[in-house]
Amino acid sequence: MPAADVIEQGWRASLSEQFSSEYFISLKNFIYSERAEGKTIYPPAKYIFAAFDLTPFENVKVVLLGQDPYHGPGQAHGLCFSVPGGIAPPPSLVNIFKELKTDLGIPPPKHGNLQKWARQGVLLLNATLTVRANSPGSHQHKGWENFTDEVIRLLSSQKSGLVFLLWGKYAQAKEALIDKTKHYVLKAAHPSPFSADSGFFGCRHFSKTNELLLQQGKEPIDWKLD
């Protein structure tokens, strides 16, 4: 796990108290012990804070909340729902691209790397930032949720006019952390194949997000990836 001083400086300043807190020290020790026992942890250490590095605090316009990193080889690189180039998009991401085509007519890209979205101000935040290989949920309730909940509270209190995309019940439970008098919350079913037909398909969150940004005089997101 990288030291806190490698995270983007705006986030580092805003989250300094978290990095020195008892729960975060305990979290780091847990991850170190997992690695010491020979367990493979995803994403690689240099990508754990990739969402923050690609979307500096001052640039955040949209927050998309995920749950766990992908737990298969080569998939996780620090951005929720995203995979590096050369890795086949997982089913939820395939469904995201289907909705993108329905909503904005953008054809599915040839890759699943969402870094272009992140660089435009879409914070692609998982609630848990690490996972043991082939063991979904294995790093839940170890401290990451304390950290990412504080990220949401911080964004809610210090910024205005953000668009929060909450897909699925897990993400929607974070709504209580958001001041809805200052921000916009768009909710839909999770894009997983198990639930996408129950309200994700047809949600049109990509066009709705851009409408909300334009209403505030902000640059819309170019959702096209290729």
pTM across the whole model:
0.96
- Average pLDDT value for residue range 177-204: 97
Contact between 30 and 142 (Cβ < 8 Å): yes
- Average pLDDT value for residue range 128-139: 96
b/e code 32-70 from CB counts within 10 Å (16+ = b): eebeeeeeebbbeeebbbbbbbbbebeebbbbbbbbbbb
Please write the tens of the pLDDT for every residue from 18-58.
Answer: 999 999 999 999 999 999 999 999 999 999 999 999 999 99
Q: Could you give the CA distance from residue 34 to residue 201 in angstroms, rounded to a whole number?
A: 38
Give the tokens for residue 218: 């902000």
Cβ-based neighbours of 168, under 8 Å, separated by 6 or more: 67, 189, 190, 192, 195
Q: Give the β-pairing of 41-42 and 131-132.
A: antiparallel
What pLDDT score does 1 carry? 62
Residue 5: active-site member = no
Q: Could you give the CA distance from residue 152 to residue 66 in angstroms, rounded to a whole number?
A: 12
Terminal Cα-to-Cα distance of the chain (whole angstroms):
32
Q: State the pLDDT confidence band at 201, using cuts at 50, 70 and 90.
A: very high
Contact between 145 and 151 (Cβ < 8 Å): no
Would you say residue 2 has pLDDT above 90?
Answer: no
Would you say residue 210 has pLDDT above 70?
Answer: yes
What pLDDT score does 226 carry? 82
Would you say residue 189 has pLDDT above 90?
Answer: yes
Q: Could you give the CA distance from residue 200 to residue 168 in angstroms, rounded to a whole number?
A: 9
Q: Which of 68, 179, 222, 226 is catalytic?
A: 68
DSSP state of 223: -
Residue 134: Cβ within 10 Å count? 11
Mean pLDDT of all residues in the chain?
Answer: 96
Please write the tens of the pLDDT for every residue from 62-97.
Answer: 999 999 999 999 999 999 999 999 999 999 999 999
